[in-house]
Amino acid sequence: MSIIRCPMTLLLLFNITNGLIVGAFYVLMALGLSLILNLSNTINFAHGGFLVIGGYIAYAITPYIGFWGALLIAPPLTAVIGLVVERVLIRPLYGRDPLYSLLLTFGLAFIIEDGTRFIFGPQGKPVTIPPFLAQPLSNDFFFITGYRLFMVAVVMIAVALLFVLLRYTRLGIRIRAGTLDLETVAALGINVQLLRSLNFAVGIFLAGLSGVLAAGQLGLEPTMGTGLLMPSFIAIIVGGIGSLPGTLLGGLLIGVASGLTAVFLPAASEAVIYVMMAVVLLMRPRGLLGEEGMMS
């Protein structure tokens, strides 16, 4: 077996690839979070909660319409829930200190975790994925399973679609404009409320999609959202707040960094992403691809 001939190089190679796969998943979470942060000036602490909602919706409907159906249906359903939450709870807070939306989503995360436990029980739930995805592609590269590749593919498609949306559609151009200067956009007669709602829905759609993907990979637990939220935060800060390509880069970087650290110093594999963030903030306060002045 080739691993035995040169274990260290291959181990490194394995972990870099693997880190990229994990990072791709963070990217999906972080992009949604970033969209909402940029336009609504809201740190959505309930983002992990929406991921859990997406996952559990998929779990609930898989028996009827199968995994593929759930993959298509669950994210838009989550987005609808997000839309309602935005309308009823978050909209009254625009224009107030960001402290309030932060506290609100913080409380919302509690309610979502507890609600899922109430409805589905505290015990973890398995989600069945199509059998052909649930096996490794080759014996040596056993960690590249069909499902992981599939996840990466879905992330790539979602990211590509998102960038197309932002670059070429009217909605996307308005969202980008609003990120830079909301007042001017409003002065031009664009309905800012509607813009924010749609933008929020797109962000929650991505959270729901991450939820379905995570459900297939990890299974479901009411508490799973919390653990996945922080890496996405770091991805945004490292990449540069306000820059979606930055978020993309940040997500992949922290995936690789924690993959590599797991080889040499497993105990630090979670702390390393924070160290990375500290270094980036020291050397380049606005983040890798962040624009000047965005962070203050």
Partner 1 sequence: MTTEQTRKLIVLAAIWAALIFAPYWMVPLGGYTALATRVLVLGLAAMSLNFLLGFTGVLSFGHAAYFGLGAYGAGLTLKFLAASTPLALLLGMLLGGVCGGLLGTLIVRRRGVYFAMVTIAFGQVFYYIAFQWSSLTGGDDGLRGFSRQPLDLGLFKIDILSSANYFYFFVLFCFALAVGAMGFILRSPFGRTMIAIRENERRSRFLGIPVERHIWIAFTLSCFFMGLAGALYALVNNFADPKGLHYSQSGDFVMMAVMGGMRSFWGPLLGATVFVVLQDYLSSVTVNWMSFVGLLFVLVVLFFPRGLLGFLQRSKA
Partner 2 sequence: MTSFPPRIERRTLLKGAAALGAFQLASPFIIQARGETAVRIGMVDPLTGVYAAPAGNEVMGAKLAIEQMNAKGGILGRQVELLVEDSANDVGTGVQKARKLIERDGVNFMIGDVNSGIAAAIAQVTSEKKILHIVSGGHTDSITGKDCKWNVFRVCNTTRMEANSVSSVLYSKYGKKWHFITPDYAFGHTLYDACTDDLKKLGGTVTGNELTPLGTTDFSAYLIKARAANPDVMILLVQGSDMINCLKQVVQFGLDKQIHVAGTQQELESLAALPPEARIGVWMFEWYWKQPGVPGVEKFVADIRKVNKGNVPTARHWFGYASAMSFALVANKEKSLDAVKLAGALENFELPDDVKLQPNKVYYRKGDHQLMTSAFVGEAQSKGKDDPEDLYRVDEIVPGNKTAPTVEETGCKVQWPA
Cβ-contact 9, 16 below 8 angstroms: no
Question: Cα–Cα distance between 215 and 16 in angstroms, integer?
Answer: 23
List, in sequence order, the alpha helices (H) in 219-271: 224-239, 244-264
Question: Site mask, partner 2, residues 8-37, x = CB under 8 A?
Answer: --xx--xx--xx--x---------------
230 binds partner 2 (CB under 8 A): no
Which of partner 2, partner 1, none interacts with 126 (beta carbon under 5 to 8 A by kind)? Answer: partner 2
| Shortest distance (Å) from residue 41 CB to partner 1 | 6
Which of partner 2, partner 1, none interacts with 136 (beta carbon under 5 to 8 A by kind)? Answer: partner 2
Hey, what are 286's tokens? 């606005």
Interacting residue with partner 2 among 114, 130, 161, 173 (CB under 8 A): 114
227 binds partner 2 (CB under 8 A): yes
Which of partner 1, partner 2, none interacts with 89 (beta carbon under 5 to 8 A by kind)? Answer: partner 1
151 binds partner 2 (CB under 8 A): no
Question: Cα–Cα distance between 11 and 154 in angstroms, integer?
Answer: 26
> What sign for the dihedral angle of Cα 98, 103, 105, 106?
positive
What is the number of other CB atoms lying within 10 angstroms of the CB of residue 249? Answer: 20
Question: Cα–Cα distance between 85 and 62 in angstroms, integer?
Answer: 25
3-state secondary structure of 125: strand
| Shortest distance (Å) from residue 183 CB to partner 2 | 36
3-state secondary structure of 270: coil
| Shortest distance (Å) from residue 43 CB to partner 1 | 6
Question: Cα–Cα distance between 69 and 212 in angstroms, integer?
Answer: 11
Q: Which residues between 205 and 224 bind partner 2 (CB under 8 A)? A: 218-219, 221-224
Hey, what are 250's tokens? 């940040």
Residues at the site binding partner 2, with contacts judged by CB under 8 A: 3-4, 7, 10-11, 14-15, 18-19, 22, 113-114, 117-118, 121-126, 128, 134-136, 139, 142-143, 145, 147, 218-219, 221-224, 227-228, 258-259, 262-263, 266-267, 269-270
